[in-house]
Amino acid sequence: MTAPAASMIPEEEVREALAPHYILERELGRGGMGAVYLARDVQLERPVAIKFLPPDLAARPELRARFLQETRTAASFSHPNIVPVHAVEERDKVLCFVMGYVDGETLGKRVQRAGPMPVGEVVRLLQESAWALSYAHGRGIVHRDVKPDNILIDRGSGRAMITDFGISRSQDAAGLTMVGEVLGTPQYMSPEQATGEIIDGRSDLYSLGVVAFYALTGRVPFDGGSVQSLLAAHITKPPPAIASLRPDLPASLSSAISRLLEKEPARRFQTGEELAEHLDPLRASRREISPAIRLFAVKSNQIIRNSVMLLLLAPTLLNAVQGSGDRAILLTIIFAAIGALGFQVVSGLQELATQGYTHEDLKTGLTAIGTEQTESRALTRTGPNWAARQARRRRLIIGGMVTAAILIFISFKVRVPRLQGGYSTGLIGFFSAAIGAGLLVSTWIYAIASGAGSARIDGWLRGLWAGGFGRGLYTLIASRIRTRPAVRTVSIEIGAMTVFEGLPKGMRRDLGDVNRVIASLLGAQADLLERGVRLDTSQEEATRGTAGVATDTLERVVSELGQARSMVVRQREDITAELERLRLELIRLRSGVGTTAEVKAECARAKALMTTGAAAATL
């Protein structure tokens, strides 16, 4: 388990020891293996995070060796979902290492701040963490302390980044596993780690399963009691069924978490890549929504609701007006307002068609928005104050209706008959009627907007645009556009090229040929994807066999095709990871925390990767 917090070096001593190369700004956090500070690298003018080993621990050879081992391990990593280590500093009894600063928050703080996370965010977090762990496991390193506080969520990109390999070690190393105790955090510890057995990467995957359980529910499977009881629960007790706590989860995600939490390592996912591949269909089905489509959905929803409200209020407004001429004018104004609102909807559809979106894109985006809204409502219902909020909502609705009824009743009671017919309400009656009617309409709107009726209205409106009426109207509008743009699809995420094109002109000029490198990577990625499809087809045909061809020949062909496909998959993964690294560096540059030199250095690595990939493709 995590060691108790040790005495820390006075901050003034730390500042003096690191000057003039680093300027400390503030403490970010601390734990059993040291404190972490935000600092500024003076030479490179960038923010960094610096982790210090307390002096009393640095004096212990075994802990000092483990701290340095973490540094050597993490410094060798280059992965978009692992916090990079830049340097090691040892001055005046100060032992620390310098890491990349992630502007964001830990997963633990995210859940504490905002509660359980939506399914899409957790799927993305799980997949990216699985990639990072698979990368480390492939280099013989087990993290041993995967928990929410060791997973950072970058504010700019939303990416999950694993940090603190402070108790990690090589699977082949010996002598650093135990320092008088089992290492790790009890709430997230695998059964084999709790019993002190030899562990491998599957132990980290168990811990990742506990992290996912926490992210989706706001609680861990086992909690409370002593450390010993926690460890015993991980070893012997089955975890609660997550579907009972989050009924909105897709079955494949629930089953993935249950499989991660299996007591026997052999029953879990065997690698991070296997887990990431299992999550691919979920990730692919939860596509990002184009801002243009999201804007249309919001505006059209508001416009139609306002139009319906005008129609519902029309009889009341007409009855309040004396004279047929005035009523005709008011009726004309109402229908003109509704027509203007309808024209805005048509203009919104025309703008989408002009930008190259198809009706299928609109339908896909609206479906994704509906999924988001369903998840949001499900998350709200799982919140601790849901029942209290519902009770307060009912009281507000009942109170508003009763108060409106009383005010309207008063307006009727104070009426005075006129000699020429009709009634005179007077000032009190006028204000009572006006306030009562306004309160009645406001309460009614609040009841619809905050209840189950709102979900039904939203669903009806999505069906309106996604169905036959919406398709016909969209086709008619699109057919009247003379200049046909290139067809767009709903993008999965903002890519590296999009980020580059969003930079200021001078900054793009300073970056040189970065855009051409990104274009080359994207082209290579598409070519590899197409090559992989061809190899899959050829492998399937070879597996079925061909008359007159010897079995051993077919087996050799299938094996060679399989090897070629594996190489293509690896190359595509390398290019995808490089595109992601370039994208993150560009985002950092745009946010002011990165430098042009860092982007160019990453661009140079991309060129080297392309050269290596081209050479491999010719083999």
Residue 21 to residues 34, 46, 48, 97: CA-CA distances in angstroms?
A: 21, 11, 12, 13
CA distance 337 to 350: 20
- Considering only CA atoms, which of 231, 210, 76, 228 is closest in space to residue 148? 210
Asked if 439 and 407 touch (Cβ cutoff 8 Å), the reply is yes
DSSP 24-43: EEEEEEEETTEEEEEEEETT
Task: Verify cis geometry, omega within 30 degrees of 0, for the bond prior to 116.
Answer: no
Asked if 496 and 583 touch (Cβ cutoff 8 Å), the reply is yes
Asked if 293 and 361 touch (Cβ cutoff 8 Å), the reply is yes
CA distance 390 to 114: 19
DSSP 172-184: T--S-S-SSS--S
Tell the burial category of 55 from Cβ atoms under 10 Å away from its Cβ (0-12, 13-18, 19+). Answer: middle
**Catalytic status, residue 513:** no
Asked if 131 and 50 touch (Cβ cutoff 8 Å), the reply is no
Beta-strand runs (E) in 290-379: none
Catalytic residue among 145, 154, 164, 361: 145
| Rg, the chain, Cα only | 31
Provide the phi-psi class of 180: left if phi over 0, else alpha when psi is between -120 and 50, else beta: left
- Considering only CA atoms, which of 68, 251, 244 is closest in space to residue 168? 68
DSSP 80-100: TTB--EEEEEEETTEEEEEEE
And the tokens for 460?
């009806």
Cα 339 to chain centroid, rounded = 39
Tell the burial category of 509 from Cβ atoms under 10 Å away from its Cβ (0-12, 13-18, 19+). Answer: exposed
Q: For residue 448, report the phi and psi dihedrals to the nearest 5 degrees.
A: -75, -45
Catalytic residue list: 145
